Structure 1
Amino acid sequence: MSAQQAAPAEKQSMLNRALNAIEVVGNKLPDPAILFALLMVFVWVASWLLSGVSFNEVDPRTGDSIQIANLLAGSSLTEFTSRMVNTFVTFAPLGIVLVAMLGLGVSEHTGFINAGLRSILSVTPKMLLTPVLIAVGILSHVAVDAGYVLVIPLGAVIFYAAGRHPLAGIAAAFAGVSGGFSATFFIPSSLDPMLAAFTQEAVNLSAHPAAADLVINPLNNFYFTTASTFLVILVGWFLTDKVIEPRLKNTKVDADAADLPVMDELTNREKKGLAWAAFSMVAAFVLLVISALPEGSAWRSDAGELADAAAPLMRSIVSLIFIFFLIPGVVYGYVAGTVRSHRDVVEGMSKAMSGMGYYIVMAFFCAQFIYAFGQSNLGALMAIKGANWLKEMAFPMGFTLIGIVLLTGFVNLMVGSASAKWALIGAIMVPMLMELGVSPDLTQAAYRVGDSSTNIITPLLPYFPLIVVFCQKYVKNSGIGTLISLMLPFTVTLLICWTAFLLLFWGFDIPLGVGASHSFPAG
């Protein structure tokens, strides 16, 4: 009997109907790239319709009443087309993702990431299997999507080898990889600077007079996301061992043992490669620390600060991610024998870039939309009107933060891309909440909570069908309902506990990250 069959028939039927409705609606939405293109056309038309309307709202940047620019005017259209290439190539998130992926691609291609994760999981005591698996899932975020194709199937393998239900291993790993997507295990992921870049783009759309001088630090949520790691691990550990696995007790594993994958032990060459790769990574880190500590270090800002957003160290986060995965990846490859010449290193980079084609297409349309949205002045109008409405309603700020989390979770059911969602939501929410005195750092943190918590229940997640296939290797009649029923307890619990955790940071004014704040001068 499958997990799907184990649930009461009436409840399962209601669940399937709800999931089918979400899937139908989601499938009718355009692809995110086309969605941005359609939104851009909508902005053009809206700017034309509203360009002749007089508004009472005052633009703080000029002191005059806000005026919507007509983007369909001849001069606006020619300006748009003449800047199209520059708008695309200077789109901050594009370079951030591509540079980070060059280094990560080498580490993945040479087998360094694969061997490292296998090494961690193979020496884990049985009683700590669940929390370590979730922690490894969170750690895999530094390799972007590697956790989906590596950690999740390995979770099933090691649970089955330990005499536990493999679907529980899939659930625990999925909770770490995707449910804890916005948690960071002491190591910044490529998501941190990418989201910060989108937040900076949203800040630049603000009409707030102080926005011009505001620079978003790439690690503006780092303290919060690092602390969140322990929350995600504890929640996942409890739910896996006390809720999910007992529910799977009567779910038979109907695959033959001979057909099930085996977690291979590391070979001597792989162990030697890992040792040298770890040494190279530590050596590089020590050199960085030594070069950064002196008061006159070139890594420091003009004010002598390392953590300042203007400091070269902070502006080099993406470059350091590239270096700190390129070096050990190459060292591992040469020692383990997976790299024979520099051509293999270049092949790893090329392979990583070949998988970024879709992101580049999406980034092109996203960049054009954000440019058009900013030029139209619609964002400033919406932010000021929205802020004025919220001021009149006088909602407690805690409820506003909860609203951002829930809104993000709902949008996540329809739009799977984290960057696409934040580009859509952030362009409106960040400027609006800045007018109310809420910092972009806090708004971004609320977004990350809602985004992560619902990742694991949306069939529109690009890797969701793959996880269903992993389940079917062990329980052949597994389906979308099976996976949703496994992961729904994680989503509900994370939404409640993680939101409360964010409110705790806000309420006690605990720093969210480097150079971050909770408040902003109200407009």
Structure 2
Amino acid sequence: MDRFLNMIERAGNRIPDPALLFFWGLITVWVLSAILSQISFDSVHPLTGDAVQVKNLLTGDALAHFLANMVDTFTGFAPLGIVLVAMLGVGVADQSGFITTGLKKMLSITPKQALTPMLILVAIVSHTAADAGYVLVIPLGGIIFHAAGRHPLAGIAAAFAGVSGGFSANFIPSGIDPLLAGFTESAAHVLDDSYQVNPLANIYFTGLSSILIVALGWFVTEKIVEPRLNRTPIDEDAEEAPDLGSFTAIEGKAFNRAGLAMLLGIAALVAASWPETSPLRSPAGELTAFDAPIMQSIVPLIFVLFIIPGIVYGKTAGTFKTSQDVIKSMSDTMATMGAYMVMAFFCAQFLAAFTQSNIGTLLALNGAELLQSMNLPGEMTIVGMILLTAMVNLLIGSASAKWGLIGPILVPMLMVVGISPELSQAAYRVGDSVSNIISPLMVFFPLVVVYCQRYVKTTGIGTVASMMIPYSLTMLVGWTLFLLAYWAFGLPLGIQASYQYLVQ
């Protein structure tokens, strides 16, 4: 295994800089689109009923559209705004000393042996706050491990595994639950118009999966990944590990005041969202629905909930003497994000072209149709569905987009052989999670590379991929066996969920 991972790392790091990788990916998509657009395919889009045809992106009109929309494509790239806005607030809290003192307090009460599982558990819970884990938990994983005398890249890897590899493991409902359930129900209507899928149809399975992912991530981090990384030296000019020893009286006073300010902010948010008529709720009165304003405001809330205690801490501790110090802390934070913004520009152009070309859609549909034609036994079909989803996930990042494409094919197919839509959805969620952490097309993957470069400047795609492959393979095997065992013992998947579908 070690030799294989070293080979992956060396090969991956020979790949050009991620920004150049996305540039050449864009050129490749253009060329492939021109070639494949000359071929007629039989695949039909399950949502529109139209034949899927690859669009030629090298025509005059297509290139003119590309140039006219280049700026909008970049500024509209969702992860860019999420990362930059959140980092403005987090940067203030970090440079004021608020986060460092908070880590001192946390580590003073956390046993050293529990550091890894605690980090992975926090990463899993962060799913509830949309993409917050990518900009909060993953970099903090590096800081915590570095301060504890462990390799910071191991902390980043463990947090990344929890946030992204364990994406569908959560005991707290989030916006992804009703979103996927809606697609599953629509797919079930292909065979049965009366079938209904509860938004929490997988909540028991995903809740227990949290324990599994923590255990698997803990094992892989301390037995495989960290021993390998200990042979990778941290750069001499890398970010220094914060001194997380004892804190002074003024630091304790400043943290208490800042913590109180954060708690008051959270209390005000809870009070504002509690009434059923709250404007922060969705039209249906739900807080965790994707159309609920509070879910759409997660990043601004992170900005506010960190910048306020950051300022309070800085003023009390003396790290911020004037308002200019606050602005400087924001500017310094943005200066560290330059490499990510360059990568984001090329990544946005590539993903837009890949989506417009329909190449990913065509590959996903052909894979689903191939699985359908194999007519495997139920257990083997579930395994095949997980593997298919994991592979499609390397091409199409959005969980809802993938399920919208392959769900209408796979859900009715499995219903015919007696497997319920809820079980199909659970299998999809396993496959959708485990390959996130090894997909360079995952929109936050370049950001993880940037986090690692703070400590090891030679970090490239190969370094991150070699760190995450053990997590991906372990979760793929372990989580698949867990689902099959869960099914075999007849444990409830969630609320109003079943295993069997009686063909009408």
Say which of 377, 383, 389 aligns to 1:399. Answer: 383
1:152 pairs with 2:145:
yes
1:180 aligned onto 2:162: yes
Aligned match of 2:249: 268
Shift of 1:53: 2.1
Distance across 2 between alignment mates of 1:488 and 1:40:
25
Decide whether the 8 Å contact of 1:148 with 1:174 is kept in 2.
Answer: yes
Counterpart selection for 1:367 from 327, 343, 348: 348
> Could you tell which deviates more after superposition, 111-120 or 338-347?
338-347
Moved more, 440-449 or 377-386: 440-449
Q: Does the C-alpha gap of structure 1 residues 431 and 37 become closer, same or farther in structure 2, counting only changes over 3 Å?
A: farther
Aligned residue identity for 1:360: M
Change (3 A) 1:262 1:113: closer
SS in 2 for 1:150: helix
**Inter-CA distance 100–276: structure 2 relative to 1 (3 Å threshold):** same
Q: Partner of 2:118 in structure 1?
A: 135
How far, CA to CA, are the matches of 1:361 and 1:137 in structure 2? 29
Partner residue, 2:293: 312
Aligned residue in 2 for 1:433: 406
Distance (whole Å) between structure 1 residues aligned to residue 87 and residue 249 of structure 2: 28
Determine the structure 2 residue equivalent to 1:10.
Answer: none
C-alpha root-mean-square deviation of aligned residues, in Å? 4.9
- The answer as to 2:308 corresponding to 1:324 is no
Count of aligned pairs between the two proteins: 426
C-alpha distance 227-314 of structure 1, shift in aligned 2 (>3 A)? farther
CA 1:309/1:441 → structure 2, altered by over 3 Å: closer, same or farther? farther
Write the mapping of 1:184-333 to structure 2, written as runs, cut at 5 A.
230-234=211-215, 263-333=244-314
| Paired amino acid for 2:384 | T
Instruction: Give how far 1:299 is off.
Output: 0.7
Q: Does the CA-based 8 Å contact 2:372-2:410 persist in structure 1?
A: no
Residue 415 of structure 1 corresponds to none
2:68 matched residue in structure 1: 82
- Residue 433 of structure 2 is aligned to residue 448 of structure 1: yes
Q: Secondary structure at the match of 1:264?
A: coil
- 1:370 CA drift (Å): 2.2
Identity of aligned residues (%): 38
**Which of the numbers 298, 309, 320 marks the counterpart of 1:339?**
320
1:30 aligns with 2:16: yes
Q: Which moved more, 1:292-301 or 1:501-510?
A: 501-510
Displacement, 1:267?
0.7
1:382 aligns with 2:363: yes
Shift of 1:430: 5.0
In structure 1, C-alpha distance between the alignment counterparts of 2:449 and 2:202, rounded to whole Å: 24
Residues 172 and 88 of structure 1: is their aligned pair in 2 closer, same or farther, counting only changes over 3 Å? closer
- Say if 1:399 and 1:174 are closer, same or farther in 2 by CA, change over 3 A: same
| CA shift for structure 1 position 35 | 2.1
Spell out, residue by residue over 1:285-325, the C-alpha distance to the aligned partner (whole angstroms, 9 max, x if none): 11111111112211122222222211111111111122221
CA distance in 2, matches of 1:386, 1:94: 31
Q: Which amino acid aligns with 1:53?
A: I
Partner of 2:336 in structure 1? 355
Give me the whole-angstrom Cα distance separating, in 2, the residues matched to 1:370 and 1:175.
24
The TM-score with structure 2 as length reference comes to 0.68
Change in Cα spacing, 1:52 to 1:186, as seen in structure 2 (3 Å) is closer
Please list the CA deviations of residues 45-70 of structure 1 after superposition, one character each: whole Å capped at 9, or x if unmatched.
12212223222233456544333322
Contact 1:180–1:453 (8 Å) recurs in 2: no
Displacement after TM superposition at 1:132 (Å): 4.1
1:54 aligns with one of 17, 36, 40? 40
